[in-house]
Chain A
Amino acid sequence: QVQLQESGPGLVKPSQTLALTCTVSGGSISSGSHYWNWIRQPAGRGLEWIGHFYTSGSTSYNPSLKGRVTMSADTSKNQFSLRLTSVTAADTAVYYCAVGAFFDAWGRGALVTVSS
């Protein structure tokens, strides 16, 4: 069973870059055909798909984030990463990494607060 764990700073200043890493265990991010996703949930609101990194190396991002998102992978560490630039308070949320087209395994989530 694949397990995922998010890591990264819990506090980011406005206008700076949010950077999170998802470490995968129990499976390789470079084998098979899988979508490696980032999803977020602002407090009191619903779930928003941020984007995914596919095993082949292709990516797909939610246009709502207006080009601020970049995802990448480090196969040597079995990790994939999220970078979100020019953050504002609206980007404060719990950020999850998850695998699959339907998300059958999730990390526990990482709260990221954008505040000066």
Chain B
Amino acid sequence: DIEMTQSPDSLAVSLGERATIHCKSSQSVLSNSANKSYLAWYQHKPGQPPNLLIYWASTRESGVPDRFSGSGSGTDFTLTISSLQAEDVALYYCHQYYRTPWTFGQGTKVEIK
């Protein structure tokens, strides 16, 4: 299985400041033929299903605010919230869909400082 490890487990950021979450995969999730990394990011709030933010490591889902961005390739990835808003308090998960069993990171809790 491809293990996904996120860091940190939690972080507290002031409103309007930048939040950065890292995700590392135990194997590369880059398809050389497609030149794409099979990596997605989700936001998960209590009582709601997870919400897709980013796919192909850096493509923002339609309707997602542009303060959310994804970067990285191969085994190392980053989700950045450029200016944290109160509504961004949530758990965030990375997910690899390169090889089954598809796997998630353990989650990163983002809070307001």
* Cα–Cα distance between A109 and B51 once the two chains are bound (Å): 13
Identify the A interface with B (CB < 8 A): 46-49, 51, 60-64, 96, 98, 101-104, 106-109
Closest Cβ–Cβ distance, residue B46 to chain A (whole Å): 11
Identify the B interface with A (CB < 8 A): 1, 38, 40, 42, 44, 48-52, 55-56, 61, 93, 95, 97, 100-107
* Cα–Cα distance between A107 and B51 once the two chains are bound (Å): 11
* Cα–Cα distance between A60 and B1 once the two chains are bound (Å): 14
Closest Cβ–Cβ distance, residue A86 to chain B (whole Å): 19
Assess whether B97 is in contact with A102, with CB atoms less than 8 Å apart: yes
Closest Cβ–Cβ distance, residue A89 to chain B (whole Å): 21
Assess whether A102 is in contact with B55, with CB atoms less than 8 Å apart: yes
Assess whether B38 is in contact with A101, with CB atoms less than 8 Å apart: yes
Assess whether B40 is in contact with A103, with CB atoms less than 8 Å apart: yes
Given contacts A46-B105, A63-B101, 6 further A-B contacts (CB under 8 A): A49-B103, A61-B101, A96-B50, A103-B40, A104-B52, A104-B55
Assess whether A49 is in contact with B101, with CB atoms less than 8 Å apart: yes
Q: Which of A47, A61, A101 contacts B50 (CB 8 A)?
A: A47
* Cα–Cα distance between A101 and B102 once the two chains are bound (Å): 9
Tell me which residues across on chain A come within 8 A of B42, comparing CB atoms: 103
